[in-house]
Amino acid sequence: MKQIGKISASMMCADLLHLKKDIELFEKNKIEYLHIDVMDGNFVPNFGLGVDYIRGLRGLTSTPLDLHLMVNKPEEKYEWLGIQPTDQVCIHYESTVHIQRALEKLKKYQCRIMLAINPGTPIYSVEEVLEYIDGVTILTVNPGFAGQPIVKSCIKKVEKMYKFLLGEGYENLSIEVDGNISFENAKKLRGLGADIFVAGSSSIFGKTIVMEDSIKRFREAIKP
């Protein structure tokens, strides 16, 4: 495996009434990223976490943010987000006409850069921009809503992406997976090459188990 598995906690699934308590728990358990779904109601059929939420969150924690921009023309919105060098920022291949230009513009923030592809997007879409990114985010559900079942073809897609990156000499790029990453799916996808896992309502935010126990169980699932 390329690196230690990392958890990106999906803040769209968090309970706003207990947000500070949850963040303290994440810090205690060394959660690597807080995953922020930014949605514009256009690129995806939903509105997500906005600029004021992001600013407020930065005031509560120093944990790096994993900013998932599900918006059209993301390159026009970077400056709104207060991007930090410790952050990870993900934009979609389909979100802009000139994806290379959008990735190049993101470089000035010195953050980690991820390129997301939807379930129906071929893995080879990333081929011409590999030198501009630090990893690929594979959406294992169609973006926009939490709680969807995993698109089964995306399980094989993770393995295909891992082999593709290996063949192209980019084996050190991260593969993040996002969408119904349950304990079982996380373990399976870890074995196929994924190393960053967006954890939401099907795992650490589940209602049938204490969150701290869920985090420990998830850590166990993504061991090398």
Beta-strand runs (E) in the chain: 6-10, 33-39, 65-70, 88-92, 112-117, 135-139, 174-178, 196-199
Q: Is 37 a catalytic residue?
A: yes
Helix (H) and strand (E) counts in the chain: 6, 8
* Catalytic annotation, pick one of 22, 37, 66, 87: 37
In Å, the largest CA–CA distance within the chain is 47
* Catalytic annotation, pick one of 22, 66, 87, 178: 178
Q: Is 87 a catalytic residue?
A: no
> What is the per-residue DSSP string for 85-141?
TT-EEEEEGGG-S-HHHHHHHHGGGT-EEEEEE-TTS-GGGGGGGGGG-SEEEEESS
β-bridge pairing 112-117 and 88-92: parallel
Quote the distance between the C-alpha of residue 99 and its chain's center.
18
Residues that are catalytic: 37, 178
